[in-house]
Amino acid sequence: MPNLNFHPAGRHFLQIPGPSPVPDRILRAISYPTIDHRGPEFGALGRQVLAGIRAIFKTQHPVVIYPASGTGAWEAALTNTMSPGDAVLMYETGHFASLWKKMAERLGLEPEFLGLPGIEGWRRGVQADLIEQRLQADSAHRIKAVCVVHNETSTGVTTDIAAVRRAIDRARHPALLMVDTISGLASADYRHDEWGVDVTVSGSQKGLMLPPGISFNALSPKALAASRVARLPKAFWAWDEIVEMNSTGYWPYTPNTNLLYGLAEAMDMILEEGLDNVFARHLRLGAACRQAVRAWGLEIQCVEEACHSPVLTGVMMPAGVDADRVRKLVYEHFNMSLGAGLGKLKGRMFRIGHLGECNDLTLMATLSGCEMGLGLAGVALQGSGVVAAMAHLQSTAQATARYPVE
């Protein structure tokens, strides 16, 4: 294998909004020898991860685990529930929402793209009232699904999914609610059942702290019913065989065994900390990160206070500053990867990931690297974001070390 150590010394800080740094425990778990996916050991593993993943999604219903990366789970959500030419209402929150819409087109659907003009829509969560209005206008119920992104990885904006659900309900519209929380799951609060989501799409390489390679569809009974009559061709993604085989802990085809080891370990880690404690940790880290950006005098991409992502923060550059040059300086001098601005925001912002296994000192390292990199790039800063973030973290710090009783 090639030497992938492009920096001479020390740990690389992978502070993109996914893949997030994979903890040692999980890297060791995925290096357990591959087993027979039809043998009894696999059954024990399969039953454990299939039960555990429901707790992560907060659902009582089946969660399909695909041996494929997240883009595939987008496709699965659509091909299992839709028929050729179906209208789907999608909402432009950012680059990934746009890619999902493009996929819907490729699959022969007719997506309609709601949203605010320009980059304004990329700075706010889904405006549920726009969805309500559109659905009310659709008295013929041509629209078969409403598709929104819960945590836009390209912007650092989250959406109030419960509000979208209420909007659909107020419109008394039968469309399915499909939600992408690929980058939100297991770092940002998410409740598949309580929020009335029909299909939730997610992936492994973000809050679950795994390498990329597995992805998810969490289902509702209504989604399962829709899948029985949907006519888009599907085989690999088809829920029916998988859900049936999963009842005993197995898959109809070869699953991604070694990443499932990692998933089991990730669930152990999340269980040890407590899922709600995980959410609280990321809320606190996100708040500290924003304190830093404000102290620098820079703009945060997300402009709605209620919608700041606990997973990542988008930092807008002043006019004339190329965000990608800042990222390159940081990469070359401080051994850290930051996320690029995507699509409409290319070169105008960079993204700081603070998801997954991030903790206080990792965030401080990250913000230090940003502050020094901005300095190298000649960006005039109003003050030290690092000091502001420390103030927030110190004032909210809690003793978290556990001392096991012997």
Q: Do 98 and 126 form a contact (C-beta atoms < 8 A)?
A: no
**Lookup: tokens for 366:** 């990250």
CA pair distance 97, 16, nearest whole angstrom: 18
Q: Does the footprint of a copy of itself cover residue 305 (CB under 8 A)? A: no
CB of 146 to a copy of itself, least distance (A): 20
Interface pick for a copy of itself out of 130, 162, 245, 269 (rule CB under 8 A): 269
Show Cβ contacts of residue 82 under 8 Å, excluding neighbours closer than 6 positions.
88, 107, 109, 144, 145, 230, 232
Determine the angle formed by the axes of helices 360-376 and 323-334, rounding to 10 degrees. 120
Residue 88: CB atoms within 10 A of its CB come to: 25
Q: Does the footprint of a copy of itself cover residue 236 (CB under 8 A)? A: yes
Q: Does the footprint of a copy of itself cover residue 239 (CB under 8 A)? A: no
Interface pick for a copy of itself out of 273, 297, 304, 380 (rule CB under 8 A): 273
Interaction with a copy of itself in 171-230: which residues (CB under 8 A)?
Answer: 203, 205, 211-213
Helix, coil or strand: residue 70: helix
CB of 14 to a copy of itself, least distance (A): 6
In the stretch 334-353, what mask flags binding to a copy of itself with x, by CB under 8 A? xxxx--x-------------
Interaction with a copy of itself in 123-162: which residues (CB under 8 A)?
Answer: none
Interaction with a copy of itself in 14-33: which residues (CB under 8 A)?
Answer: 14, 16, 18-19, 21-25, 27-33
CA 235 to chain centre: 25
Contacts 24+ apart (CB under 8 A), 108-117: 108/84, 108/232, 109/78, 109/82, 109/84, 109/85, 109/232, 110/85, 110/86, 111/87, 111/147, 112/87, 112/88, 112/143, 114/89, 114/90, 115/91, 116/92
CA pair distance 254, 245, nearest whole angstrom: 12
> Please, what sign has the CA dihedral across residues 234, 236, 238, 241?
positive
Residue nearer to a copy of itself on the CB measure, 246 or 256: 256
Interface pick for a copy of itself out of 59, 127, 159, 362 (rule CB under 8 A): 362
Q: Does the footprint of a copy of itself cover residue 238 (CB under 8 A)? A: yes
CB of 328 to a copy of itself, least distance (A): 9
Residue nearer to a copy of itself on the CB measure, 17 or 125: 17
CB of 375 to a copy of itself, least distance (A): 5
Interaction with a copy of itself in 82-111: which residues (CB under 8 A)?
Answer: 84, 103, 106-108
Q: Which listed range, 142-150, 173-181, 344-352, 357-365, lies at the site for a copy of itself (CB under 8 A)?
A: 357-365
**Lookup: tokens for 157:** 């904006």
Interface pick for a copy of itself out of 167, 230, 293, 393 (rule CB under 8 A): 393
Helix, coil or strand: residue 178: strand
Residue nearer to a copy of itself on the CB measure, 140 or 405: 405
Residue nearer to a copy of itself on the CB measure, 40 or 221: 40
